[in-house]
Every structure is written in C-alpha cells, then in structure tokens.
Amino acid sequence: MKYSISLVIAAFALSSPAGAQNNDIENVKALMKELGGESMSDKEAQAYAEKQNSSTLGQPQNPVRAEMPQGQRAYLNRLRCSDGTPPKYFREGSMGIGPFGNIVDRYAVDCGDAEPGQVKLDMDMYHSGYVEKNPVPGFSIVAP
C-alpha cells in the first residue's frame, strides 16, 4: 500500500513545469525516504552501476539512469538497431522500486525484423543531470 501511495504522489510531483524538475527529483527522493525507502546518492549509484556487468544495463538489477521522462526518451531516441534504424518504443509502466531506491519504468523496445528484435528495458529517471552514454546490449547508440 505504501508504494501505491508513493506512486500517486510521485506522479503528482512530476506533473509540474520543466523548470521545477530538479526540485521534483529531490522531493520524490525525500518522499521515498519518508515512506521507508531511500534513494542512493549519485556517488553511490555510480559505484553500484560500475560494479554491474555491462550486459545487465537496462535490466531490473541495473536500470538505465536518466533525468526525468525527457531523459528517458532522449536515451531511447539515441539507440540504434542492428540495421542502423532507431527502435520504436513505448512505456509499459512502473515496475516498483529499483536497486537505486527509486521507482523504475519499463519500456518495450522494438527493432522489428532487425536485431535485437523486441526487448524490455528498465529505466530510472531520478538521476539529475545524468546522461547514459553506453547502449543496452544488442544496440548501438548515437552520442548525446
């Protein structure tokens, strides 16, 4: 129940104008801490991600870090399928609390007939200023 409430509050907090988004990230992190969860600091998140095998990027144990929905979309728009085309994607929903202590979103990513085909990709949008430069396995990526 406490996570359902936190999802509603997080959604409300994220509906504010773009200029207030950095404050929103901090507000959601503070709220999660108050509800019994705690987000990792940026330094802790970086150390955790560096310990993960690159083959796990985008998986539940190592979601792609981004800044807000715009950062998630920017990352997804930079991915390239094996034939060089950008994949189609859509957000499937929130998957609960991830390893960084934040709510994780899942995206369905589809390359059609090109490799890697259809994949699920987990993303954590509560990393202010962070831009992932590495592609998830099976994709290449355009530099930001």
Task: Give the pLDDT of residue 142.
Answer: 97
**What would the two tokens of residue 137 be?**
């396995």
Task: Give the pLDDT of residue 33.
Answer: 57
* pLDDT band at residue 20 using 50, 70 and 90 as cut-offs: low
Higher pLDDT, 40 or 84: 84
Task: Give the pLDDT of residue 2.
Answer: 45
Stated pTM of the model: 0.74
Q: 85-110, pLDDT tens digit by residue? A: 999 999 999 999 999 999 999 999 99
Q: What single letter denotes the amino acid at residue 124?
A: D
Residue-range domain boundaries for the chain: 2-141
* pLDDT band at residue 12 using 50, 70 and 90 as cut-offs: very low
Task: Give the pLDDT of residue 55.
Answer: 83
> Distance between CA 134 and CA 93 in Å, rounded?
23
Q: 112-136, pLDDT tens digit by residue? A: 999 999 999 999 999 999 999 999 9
Task: Give the pLDDT of residue 13.
Answer: 46
Q: 29-68, pLDDT tens digit by residue? A: 565 555 556 677 888 877 777 777 778 999 999 999 999 9
